[in-house]
Amino acid sequence: MKEIVVISGKGGTGKTSILASFAVLAERKVICDADVDAPDLHLLLKPEIEEEHDFWGREVAFIEKDKCTECGLCLECRFNAIKDFEVDFFSCEGCRLCFYLCPGNAIEMKPNLAGHWFTSRTKYGLFVHAKLEPGQENSGKLVAEVKQAARKIAERERIELILCDGPPGMGCPVISSLSGASLALLVTEPTLSGIHDLERVLDVCCHFGIPAAVVINKYDLDAGNTFEIERFCAEREVEVLARIPFDNVVPEAIVKGMPVVEYTNTNTNTNTNERVSREIKALWKKLEEGIGASGW
């Protein structure tokens, strides 16, 4: 089974628009959204939810006031989550230290419903996605559950390909989305921030031994920076698979709630520019060939 994960380091470079287009172009696949704390892919794929599952996060400490003698032992908390003998939900990491130390059994560890994940049907194929409750931690663990569910569905349906939309950044949810990936597709843009973040996220891929390739999105925004990205990729021996031009057709498609390659196919508006879709289709063809040749 092959698994393509789209990540970027910097946010807003076009991960979701590109992955949604792959969902249109690829024939048999399971799609999953590993950006669980700001998921957007569902806005384009319009899933019909078939199954909903609870995601239980780490427990959270709770102090029962009538049992608490304010002895102060719980203030050992390394996360400063206890102030005035109340637990700050956002700071508690559920380590249970206070629970163990409290001599009066005044602390209870409460289960914490941290989010949900869904298996859905879309017109593009089966789709696994999730929603983390706002402010929750442990998004890496939810990403792992989403990916696990996508693999199980793929096995059951004898599907050989998983397309995964990843989160921005390089911390736990990104590392989790990369685990077991056949290829990390790094979508960057020709800004100095884009380049800086590409370097860091490529280092993460190398650290975990995940093969990577690069897509330069909005490449015509800055020719000098695009050249710099190409030079950097050549130096690091990473292939640049596509250069996608900047075009307003991308936000237009998002507003219409459609993957961009589908939007340009169905849209009869004569202003619509085909360049973006052409590049994404060519990129997909390269990826398909790469998968076929089992290069990844």
Q: Which of 116, 179, 184, 104 is nearest to 144 (CA)?
A: 179
The correct pick among 21, 120, 139, 182 for binding other proteins (CB under 8 A) is 139
Token pair belonging to 3: 């698994």
The correct pick among 1, 40, 53, 286 for binding other proteins (CB under 8 A) is 40
Query: Taking CB under 8 A as the rule, which mask of x and - marks residues 261-290 in contact with other proteins?
Result: ------------------------------
d(CA 164, CA 155): 16
Token pair belonging to 224: 């000098």
The correct pick among 49, 69, 86, 100 for binding other proteins (CB under 8 A) is 100
Which CB sits closer to other proteins, 28 or 90?
Answer: 90
The correct pick among 67, 96, 156, 231 for binding other proteins (CB under 8 A) is 96
Choose the binding region for other proteins from 155-163, 218-226, 229-237, 277-285 (rule: CB under 8 A): 218-226
Q: Is residue 86 near other proteins by the rule CB under 8 A?
A: no
Q: Is residue 54 near other proteins by the rule CB under 8 A?
A: no
Contact between residue 113 and residue 56 where contact means Cβ atoms under 8 Å apart: yes
- Distances from the Cα of 12 to the Cα of 66, 168, 247, angstroms: 49, 8, 14
The correct pick among 50, 52, 70, 76 for binding other proteins (CB under 8 A) is 76
Phi and psi angles of residue 196, each rounded to the nearest 5 degrees, phi first: -55, -45
Contact between residue 67 and residue 106 where contact means Cβ atoms under 8 Å apart: yes
Contact between residue 114 and residue 142 where contact means Cβ atoms under 8 Å apart: yes
List strand residue ranges (DSSP E) for the chain, in order: 2-7, 30-33, 48-56, 60-63, 82-83, 86-87, 107-110, 113-122, 125-132, 161-165, 183-188, 212-217, 239-244
DSSP single-letter state for residue 73: G
By CB under 8 A, what part of segment 153-192 binds other proteins?
Answer: 167-176, 189-192
Q: Is residue 203 near other proteins by the rule CB under 8 A?
A: yes
Q: Is residue 228 near other proteins by the rule CB under 8 A?
A: no
Q: Is residue 48 near other proteins by the rule CB under 8 A?
A: no
Q: Which residues bind other proteins (CB under 8 A)?
A: 8-13, 16, 36-38, 40, 43, 58-59, 76, 78-79, 90-91, 93-97, 100-101, 132, 134-140, 167-176, 189-194, 196-197, 200-201, 203-204, 207-208, 221-222, 225, 248, 251, 254-255, 257
